[in-house]
Chain A
Amino acid sequence: EPEVTQTPSHQVTQMGQEVILRCVPISNHLYFYWYRQILGQKVEFLVSFYNNEISEKSEIFDDQFSVERPDGSNFTLKIRSTKLEDSAMYFCASSEGARGYGYTFGSGTRLTVV
């Protein structure tokens, strides 16, 4: 079964550093997303991406965050100047369509900011 692949599975970074979280969505999916889940809490929307541009972003997704699809397969989330409160599981997801489709999530990257 097709999978969304995320790397690394765990990233530890110093406060103030930049991190890049990587994702390889399912190859025939056109819509890409980042969500985050602070330990034990709900899954929160960060951003959706389609046709090489952001289609929607949440209030969490401020200037500290950026996304990119640098080639035909990777989808990255960059977090600049990380803060302690950025520690969370970050999930990449992709979907085949824009309406009425569920997501396929990756297994996540656990980001720990120390």
Chain B
Amino acid sequence: QQQVKQSPQSLIVQKGGISIINCAYENTAFDYFPWYQQFPGKGPALLIAIRPDVSEKKEGRFTISFNKSAKQFSLHIMDSQPGDSATYFCAASKGNTGGFKTIFGAGTRLFVKA
């Protein structure tokens, strides 16, 4: 019930194309769904996040689509650029007074071809 399933494992997209990464969760108590971007040798960096009362959130070229009934959410990267090549992790968390444990998906390695 604590799992977050992410697909695909790897993705190759042409420059200017749309990258789509999908995630699914089981625990309906999760109330915060962030996406992290990780470059080699660096820690994950928060990219964009959504709460379950919203179906879509857009920040620049990055959009999260959220389907609460299906317990699925996805990241869309529009006009993908070579600089977007990184590993992307979806995640889910449930807040509590002592902080919140975040469950990460297995990650998607994105490569954008120039």
Contacts and interface: CB of A to CB of B under 8 A. Distances in A.
A72 interface: no
B32 A31 contact: no
Contact of B99 (A31, A105, A106): A31
Interface string B69-100: 00000000000000000000100000111111
Interface bracket on B: 20 to 34
A105 B43 contact: yes
B15 to A, nearest CB: 25
Contact of B44 (A49, A97, A98, A105): A105
B46 to A, nearest CB: 4
Given A42-B107, A45-B102, A100 B95 contact: yes
Interface of B: 31-32, 34, 36, 41-46, 49, 51, 89, 95-107
The 10 closest A-B pairs by CB, nearest first: A55-B98, A99-B95, A105-B43, A102-B46, A31-B99, A48-B99, A43-B104, A50-B98, A42-B106, A102-B34
